[in-house]
Each structure stands twice: as C-alpha cells, then as structure tokens.
Structure 1
Amino acid sequence: MGNKELIESGSAVLGIEFGSTRIKAVLINDKYEPIAGGSYTWENTLDNGIWTYPLTQIHEGLQTCYADLKKDVQEKYGIKLTKFRAGGISAMMHGYLAFDKDENLLVPFRTWRNTITGQASKELSDLFNFPVPERWSVSHLYQAILNKEPHISKIENVYTLAGYIHYMLTGKKVLGVGDASGMFPVKYDNGKADYNPDFKAKFEALDGVKALGLKLDNVFPKVLMAGEEAGTLTDSGAKFLDPTGDLQAGIPFCPPEGDAGTGMAATNSVAAKTGNISAGTSVFSMVVLEKDLKKAYPGIIDIVTTPAGLPVAMVHANNCTGEHNYWMDLFYEVATLMCGAENTPKIGKFFDDLIGKSLEADKDCGGLLAYNYLSGETITGFNSGRPLFARAENAKFNVANFMRVQMFASLGALRAGMNILYDEEKVPVESMTGAGGYFKTEAGLKYMAAAMKTSVSAMETAGEGGPWGMALLAAFAAEGKKDLGDFLNKEVFGNCKKTTSAPEAELVESFNIYFERYMKGLAIEKAAVENL
C-alpha cells in the first residue's frame, strides 16, 4: 500500500511534540517512516520572573501545527487528512500547569526552564533521600505551598504540558511513566509503575500539604506504561485539534510522554547500558541503569524511567544551542545586509558551513571562552544565567575558534554531570545515540563523542527527534506489542542507517582544554549574574 492509500484508509500514525522552540507533528507509515509533517515556531517569554508560554499560544500552536500537517498531506498526496490509526502527544518534561475545579488555569505555565524552586527541591530531596530537581512538578507544587501562594487552596489538577494536551484531546487524566517520573518519583515493580507510595506518604504528611488536605493521587494524572490504553479522541478533542471539523473522533491515543521518553524511543535507547543524548535548545543525556546509583546527586543527576519503566540516570542541562543560535542569526543578518538576500546562502547551508569551519580551529580554541547560560544552570550552581563571551587580549579570535567554542560551550554543563556517572559511579555504557539539531552536522557528532568520551551514533532519522519517537510509541500501542525494546530493535531499527563517531584524540584533548577553562571561568559567569 502506498503512502497516499495508507493515509486515505486511516492507517498512518501521528506523533506531536511540544518542544522549546517548535511544536512538530509527524505522520508515519506502516514501515515507521515519516511521510508528512507540520510545525509551529514559538518562543518562551519571561513574565514577572517566570519562564512561560501563554495558554492561548499553546492552543494556537497545536492547531497551527496540525493545520500545517494537513497542508503537507494535501500538497504531497492531494488528499484531505481526516483520520489516522493512532496518535500520541509528548512535550518538554516537567513544569507546572495547575487548574481549579472549573478547569481555569490558576497561574501561568511554569516551564522546565525556571529555577525558582530551590528550597522545595532541597527539602524534598532530603526528605526522600532521592534527587528531586527544581523543574519537577512536585517541586513547583511544594514551592507554591511554601510560598503560601493564593492559588494553592484551589488546586484540583496538576499536569505536565503533554498530560494537559492529552486531557484536552481525550478527557483522560493519565500520563506515561516516563513523563510521570518527572512529576514525582516513581517505583517500578513487576512490569508496573506508580508514584512511589513511601514518598507519597512522606509528602502528604508535610505540614503545608497536610493542611491543604492534598492527595497526590487526586491531583496528579494516573501513571501508565508504554502500550497501555490511554483513551480515544473525543468529539470536542477532535474539534480542539482540528477546528475545521475534518478530523474524525474515536482515534486511540497512547499514554502521553515527555521529550526524554520520546528521545529514548527515537534513538532505540530503552535497554540497560544504552544511552541517548537529546541536544537542541536544552541538552540531556539518558543512561539506562543495570542497578541503582550508590548515592543521590541532587541538582546534577535525576532518576527517571524509560517509557517501559526501567530506571534511567538523566543529566539535564537547561542550556545548549540557544545562545549559539542567536550568534548564528546575527551572522546571517550581517551576511544578508552585506550581500543581499538573493546572494546569501539558504540559512541551513549557512549554519552548516560556519559549523564546519570549526573543524579547522586551534586545539586550545585560541584561548576563547563562552557560556551559553540564557537561563540558570543547576549542574554548575546558577539560579539565573547571563550569556557571556570572553577572551584574553592575545587570543586568536577567528571564525573557526569562535565557532568551536560555541559548540563546546553547548556541552559544558552536560559534561560536568556526566563526569560523575563515568568517574564516580562507573556506569557502563555500551552505546549512545544522539537526536536533535546538534547532530545535523558532522562536526556536532564529532564534538559530542569527544565530550562524552565514548562513541556516539546519529541515525538517519536523527533530525526527526521527539515527534517521530512519539509516533513510534503510538504505533507500539496500536499494534498491541508487549516488549518495547524488541519492537524497536527488530521492527523499527533493524535496517536503520546510522553514522557513528568514535572519540578522536585531538578533539578529546581540545575539549578537555576548553572544559578546564570552562570550569575555572565559572567565577566570571557568577560575577556577571550578580552584577548585570
């Protein structure tokens, strides 16, 4: 069956992911190949000290992204998209969307980027003897309780972004285990997972929580494993996704997931001793563990799960290519101003050529230093950020060195966290696979291998990333498969082409030189945060 006939018959599968800078939709065929897509570009805003996206823009973004997908289907195949076999929603993990009993949003969406829950994060980590990061939903909830914010007495439901959108589409208050493990610690037992009952009891016994009579099972979504039934598209959900009325109701949706879970699916990294790295606006590595870590590392290493419930050590840095992209846009604006739009290369080639030039850089990057901290960076101890570029008076300030420093700066905080897994915990990693914009160039793959001290692969699907991974999870559920690892290994990635880069000695040395400078220079970043 061709793709046109497959779409017409309603046999394609949809994945949608709300990323930090783009909402993307991917439609896949029965060979799990992307056959159509749509997107919507957006940017978070700093509103009264809170990084957020307005609820109206969340709704608008979803509908515009889906409309763009419909347009792509129409242009490619000459048909109208009215149905699909199954669907799934994923989004940037964690954060805080709190609603009252009438489904009114109580405070603006507090995203993962916020570093405003330090007290709650520390108290909960100490209470559980388990790392509870600042961006987790329970940290935001408890910080609001500690702050005695007026809205806390009205809380009826708390969602992640993926859980909220899934609820709007299906009416089901459920969440995939991977995303749920970023709301509250989960416990996996005999093929099932739920919020850790011991930790729940401790949390609900806290004075402020007890005074509210708050019960997590009533407020947070129900935890589901990959493949479990998670509801179907309602009439109102279909209209919400596609206001034109073309979309049919009744389509099954799989458990909504976070971008970490979809990244694992998209890189075939759900088995023990495998790992993946998602590198875009933020960057995180995920290593599936054989056993628990020896100790907790709050603020540096989080413990989450695969979509199938296995424990994962996650190193999450808030900042990756965001500042790098600002510089690239500036250079592109200069090039367009000087050469004219008609004589300036397409922006994709422009980016590729500049990044490629970085492979000619000096081993010490010419003595340049950069910090990409558009926001705080918990791993290195910052509650807020200041993008920063510095150089000595005799530094070799040229394009190659500048570009390599920007690429290296995107990985500085990640490497600081990974050093603990490698050097202190001796966690074995047999393979790491990358996804996201950082891996779209040869240089990016080489630099990641050098920074991670291990071979890193990028599959031919690396650019598809999260929405494709979400579509795979939806297909897994629709087909009634039992083992996610087997499904991905045998049916999705069996013949997938990939490019692997082993650490190159010269680049490893180059990154190590830069990383030493990066760690020593954190005092400069601290001064900038405190004085600018």
Structure 2
Amino acid sequence: MTIQEKIQNAKTYLGIEFGSTRIKAVLIDDTFAPIASGSHEWQNRYENGVWTYSLDDITTGLQHCYAALTEDIRQKFGVTPTTYGAMGISGMMHGYMAFDKDDNLLVPFRTWRNTITEQAASELSELLCFNIPQRWSIAHLYQAILNGEEHVRHIAHINTLAGYIHYRLTGKRQVGIGEASGIFPVDSTDYNADYIKKVDEVLFAKGFSVKLAEVLPSVLNAGAKEAFLTADGAKLLDPTGTLQPGVPLCPPEGDAGTGMTATDSVLPQTGNVSAGTSIFAMLVLDKPLKGYYPEIDVVTTPCGAPVAMVHCNNCSSELDAWVKIFGEFAQLSGHPIAKPALYDMLYYHALTGDPDCGNTVVYNFLSGEPVAGAENGRPMYFRTPDGKFNLANLFRAEIYSTMAALKLGMDILFEKEQVSVEKITGHGGLFKTKGVAQQFLADGLGCAVSVMKTAGEGGAWGMALLAAYTVCGDGKSLSEFLDSEVFVGMESTTLQPEKNGAEGFAGFMENYKRGLAAQYAAAK
C-alpha cells in the first residue's frame, strides 16, 4: 500500500502537541515513522502578573498548525486527508483553566510557568505528606480559593490545556492518567481517593462546596478508546470542512507522558530528559520514594506506573536569546548565518571550552525556578576576575545552565533515594546538535545518555504513537507495543560521562550554588 493509499484508508495516526513556543502536528503511518508534519509558532504573554495564552491563541494556533500539516501532506503526496486511524492531543502539563456551567472561561488560562501558588502548594503538601508543586492544577484552584477570587463561586469544571482541546474536539472531559497526575495525585487508575476526601474537606471549610470529583476531568489509561471526533470538533480543527467526524481520539496526555513514549521510557529503571523551553527528567520507579521533596514530583507513565519527575521551568529560552544576539551580529557584519548552522557553530564551539567554563556561571531564569529556590526569574551571568572568559566558555556555560537546576533535583534521587536507572534517553530541541548537550548531560548526571534518531520529533510524535496504540495495540501493554513495533532496530547513539567533563561540571555547579544568593537578590 502506498502512502497515498494509507492516508486515504485511515492507516495513519495524528499527534498534536501544544508546546510552550510551538504547536506541532506529526503524522505517522502504520510503520509508526513520521511521514508529514506541520507547526505554528506562538508565545505566552505576561499579563497582570500571569503567564497566559488567550483562547484565540489556542484556537487559531490549532487551526494554523493543522493547516500546515495538511499542506505538507498535499505537497508530498498529492492528497488531502479526510480521516485518520486515530489521533490525540498533548500539551504543556499542569496549569489552570476554570469554566462555568456554560463552558465560559472564568479567568485567563494560568500556565505551568506561573509561580503564584506558594501558600496553596505548601499547605496541600503538608496536608497530604505528598509534594504538590506550585504549577499543579489543584494548587491553582486552592490558591484562588485562599485569595477569595470572585470567579471561584462560578466554577463548574477545571481542566488543563490538553484536556480542554480534547473536550472541544470530542465533547468529553477526560484526560490520560499521566496528564491527570499533574492535576491531582493519582493511584494506578484514578485520582487518589483518600487524598480527594482530605482536600474536599479542606475546600469545603474554605467555602468551596463543589466536590472535586465533579470539578476535575475523568481519568483514562493509555489505550482507552472512549472518545471520537464530533462534527463540531472536525469543523474546529479544519474549518475547510474536509476533515470528517468519527476519528477515535486517545486520552489526551501531557508533555511528560509523550516524552516517555517518544523515548521508550515507560518501564521501571528507565528514564528520559525532555529539553525545550522547560526541562524535566522522568525516572520510572521500581519502588516508592522514602521521603517527599519539594524538588521532586511523583507522577505516572501513560499507563499509571509511578514516576519521579524533576521539572524545571527554564531551559533553552535564554540560550536561544544568546544565539539570536550572535545572529544579529552576523547580520550586521554582512555575513548572515542560517539559524540551524548558527546553533551548530556555537554548540560545537562550546565543546572546545574549559570543562568548568573558566569560572563563568549563567542563570537562565526567565521565570521563577522552584527547584533552585528562585521565586522570580532574572537571567544573569557572572565570572571571576581571573576566570578565562571567551566565547567557548560563555556558550558552554549557557548550555550547562539549561540543565543545572535539573542537576540539583537529580542529585536528590541518586544520592538520597538511591534511585537506579539503566538508561536515560534525551529528546527535544536541545539535543538536535549531535553530541553536545548529550555529552554535557552525561557528564552532569554521571550516567550514560542516549539520543535516538527521532530526538527532534519530540512529543508530537509520542502523541501520535499513543494514538496508534489505541487501535493497533492488539492487547499488548504499552511497553510491549513500543518495544516490538516502534523501537525495534531504532537508530540511537549513547555517550558515557567523561572524567574531565564530569569534574568540570561539578566545579561549575559549586560556583552555581554559591552564586544563587545573587540571583535571589536580583529577583527582588
């Protein structure tokens, strides 16, 4: 069967992921390899003290992304899809979208990037003896109640970005269990019932009488086939009317779940690091953690297995800003450099820098960074007067900074909890330039880091795989499906820590930790 025939006969699977700076669609066929893609660039806004995207941003972004995908399909294969074997929606996890009974959004969408729920997160964590990070949906809801916000009395439902779009496409308020685990703590199949009862009691005492079971979206495990594209949903996604209703939609998942899927990291003692606008590590646990820590989230795989997650709000945005500065310089010099070549040039030059960056330190905090104890973000760098300051060291420090806060959290897992991991797989834009960020991460974490050929495809490909699993799983577990159908023979490279690099990264981290007081002061 040709690819054109596969497209026309619903032998393709579509994943759409709403990242922080880009909405991306990836189409795969029944070999589970990408065959087409489309994207739409967007940016969050900082309005009235809140990081947000408008509903118009979300809707137009979805439509533009899908239109770019269908144009790519037309250009490559000369056909326009009217249906798919299955599809799925992913998005930035956590955050807060609150709706009334008529589905009106009550306050602007509060994204994961906000660090405005410290009191709520602290009180909930103490109540449950379980870490509730500031960005989790329940922390946002409880903080709004503590603040006495007027909209609270009108709340009928809350949702995440992925859950909201899934609802618009299917009419179903449901999320995958991995996404749910960033809304409220879960067990292997649903929200933790004991925790729900405790929090309901606290919310009732604060005047919020609606039960959480009514407010939160329902929970499904990977492979569930309970939602289908409605006529309204098809029109929303494709205003041309070409796309027909009836396509099965898998449970919507967060970017953590799609990252685990895209790196074949859903079994115990596997892990992955996803690096883009934010950076987070996911280690699938073979036993519960002994303690709970504000730096560590406990979430799940898309099939409900417990995962220790170190999530950092800041990763590549400040790095990208510095690349842009050098791009401007190249333009002014009369020798402009294409963006991919510019990234490669600066990344590879960073490999020639001193392992400790010549006593140059960078903080990439555009927003607060709870793992590092930073309430607000102020990008900054410093160096010692006798340090070796040059371009290679500056840019090496910039790349180190993308993973330095992550290192703080990972040290807790490796040193305090003795979490074991057989492999860590990196994916996302930070790993596009081969062997640079991958080597630095291996040096920093002290373990082997693998990067697959598909590393740049990211979560949209992972979401397409979860969609395919819904109709192609044939009774296999998700890990069996991934191992036997998707990743068998997958090309990858693995780099081991290097002694000089590891010692240099450790030296950088000592300077980084000593300088955090200056970062805190600057943020005030």
Q: Tell me the TM-score normalized by structure 1.
A: 0.97
Q: What is the CA deviation profile of residues 438-490 of structure 1, one whole-angstrom value per residue up to 9, with x for unaligned ones?
A: 11121111011111110010000000010000000000011243300100011
Tell me if structure 2 keeps the 8 A contact 1:227–1:481.
no
The aligned residue for residue 469 of structure 2 is 476
Poorly superposed stretches of 4+, deviation over 6 Å: none
Alignment RMSD (CA, Å): 1.0
Distance 1:480 1:274 in 2: 21
Distance 2:492 2:443 in 1: 18
The aligned residue for residue 301 of structure 1 is 296
Distance 1:279 1:419 in 2: 18
After TM superposition, the structure 1 = structure 2 runs for residues 36-75 of structure 1, keeping only pairs within 5 Å, are 36-75=36-75
AA at the equivalent of 2:112 = W
Pair 1:90-2:86 in alignment: no
Distance 1:143 1:119 in 2: 7
Distance 1:178 1:210 in 2: 29
The aligned residue for residue 481 of structure 2 is 487
Per-residue deviation at 1:176?
0.1
The aligned residue for residue 317 of structure 2 is 322
Pair 1:147-2:147 in alignment: yes
Give the percent of matched residue pairs that are identical in Structure 1 and Structure 2: 53
Tell me if structure 1 keeps the 8 A contact 2:362–2:380.
yes
Q: 1:525 aligns with which of 483, 507, 519?
A: 519
Question: Match of 1:499, SS?
Answer: strand
Pair 1:406-2:398 in alignment: yes
Per-residue deviation at 1:369?
1.1
The aligned residue for residue 366 of structure 1 is 358
The aligned residue for residue 111 of structure 2 is 111
After TM superposition, the structure 1 = structure 2 runs for residues 55-204 of structure 1, keeping only pairs within 5 Å, are 55-188=55-188, 193-204=189-200
Per-residue deviation at 1:208?
4.8
AA at the equivalent of 2:76 = K
The aligned residue for residue 267 of structure 2 is 271
Task: Specify whether residues 251 and 207 from structure 1 end up closer, same or farther in structure 2 by C-alpha distance, changes over 3 A only.
Answer: closer
Q: 1:454 aligns with which of 436, 447, 459?
A: 447
The aligned residue for residue 331 of structure 2 is 336
Question: Match of 2:308, SS?
Answer: strand
AA at the equivalent of 2:97 = L
AA at the equivalent of 1:514 = F
Residues matched between the structures, number: 522
Per-residue deviation at 1:344?
2.3
Tell me if structure 2 keeps the 8 A contact 1:159–1:220.
yes
Pair 1:512-2:506 in alignment: yes
The aligned residue for residue 217 of structure 1 is 213
Q: What is the CA deviation profile of residues 12-54 of structure 1, one whole-angstrom value per residue up to 9, with x for unaligned ones?
A: 1000000001000000011000000000001111101100011
Tell me if structure 1 keeps the 8 A contact 2:10–2:83.
yes
AA at the equivalent of 2:373 = G
Tell me if structure 2 keeps the 8 A contact 1:324–1:407.
yes
Distance 2:68 2:254 in 1: 23
Q: 1:503 aligns with which of 489, 494, 497?
A: 497
Q: What is the CA deviation profile of residues 116-172 of structure 1, one whole-angstrom value per residue up to 9, with x for unaligned ones?
A: 000000000000000111000000000000001000000011001000000000001
Distance 1:368 1:396 in 2: 8
AA at the equivalent of 2:340 = G
Per-residue deviation at 1:393?
2.6
Per-residue deviation at 1:210?
6.0
Instruction: Single out whichever of 129-138 and 356-365 deviates more from structure 2.
Output: 356-365
Distance 1:401 1:150 in 2: 51
Q: 1:420 aligns with which of 395, 407, 412?
A: 412
Instruction: Single out whichever of 121-130 and 392-401 deviates more from structure 2.
Output: 392-401
Distance 1:145 1:345 in 2: 51
Per-residue deviation at 1:209?
5.7
Distance 2:230 2:116 in 1: 36
Distance 2:505 2:170 in 1: 47
Q: 2:344 aligns with which of 352, 363, 379?
A: 352
Per-residue deviation at 1:330?
1.1
The aligned residue for residue 311 of structure 1 is 306
Tell me if structure 2 keeps the 8 A contact 1:204–1:210.
no
Pair 1:280-2:276 in alignment: yes
Distance 2:441 2:459 in 1: 19
Per-residue deviation at 1:510?
1.2
Gaps of 5+ in 2: none
AA at the equivalent of 1:470 = M
Tell me if structure 1 keeps the 8 A contact 2:330–2:337.
no
AA at the equivalent of 2:149 = E
Distance 1:232 1:256 in 2: 12
Q: Tell me the TM-score normalized by structure 2.
A: 0.98
Tell me if structure 2 keeps the 8 A contact 1:145–1:208.
no
AA at the equivalent of 1:295 = G
Tell me if structure 1 keeps the 8 A contact 2:184–2:191.
yes
Question: Match of 2:15, SS?
Answer: strand
Q: What is the CA deviation profile of residues 230-267 of structure 1, one whole-angstrom value per residue up to 9, with x for unaligned ones?
A: 31000000000001111010000000000000000000
Tell me if structure 2 keeps the 8 A contact 1:460–1:497.
yes
Q: What is the CA deviation profile of residues 274-317 of structure 1, one whole-angstrom value per residue up to 9, with x for unaligned ones?
A: 0010011100000000111001102x000000000000000000
Distance 1:176 1:186 in 2: 11
Question: Match of 1:463, SS?
Answer: helix
Instruction: Single out whichever of 205-214 and 519-528 deviates more from structure 2.
Output: 205-214
Tell me if structure 1 keeps the 8 A contact 2:145–2:208.
no
Distance 2:522 2:348 in 1: 31
Distance 2:287 2:511 in 1: 34
Q: 1:376 aligns with which of 358, 368, 374?
A: 368
Tell me if structure 1 keeps the 8 A contact 2:98–2:107.
yes
Tell me if structure 2 keeps the 8 A contact 1:449–1:502.
yes
Distance 1:346 1:364 in 2: 29
Instruction: Single out whichever of 58-67 and 439-448 deviates more from structure 2.
Output: 439-448
Tell me if structure 1 keeps the 8 A contact 2:327–2:337.
no
Distance 1:455 1:480 in 2: 30
Tell me if structure 1 keeps the 8 A contact 2:145–2:206.
no
Tell me if structure 2 keeps the 8 A contact 1:264–1:270.
yes
Question: Match of 1:411, SS?
Answer: helix
The aligned residue for residue 226 of structure 1 is 222
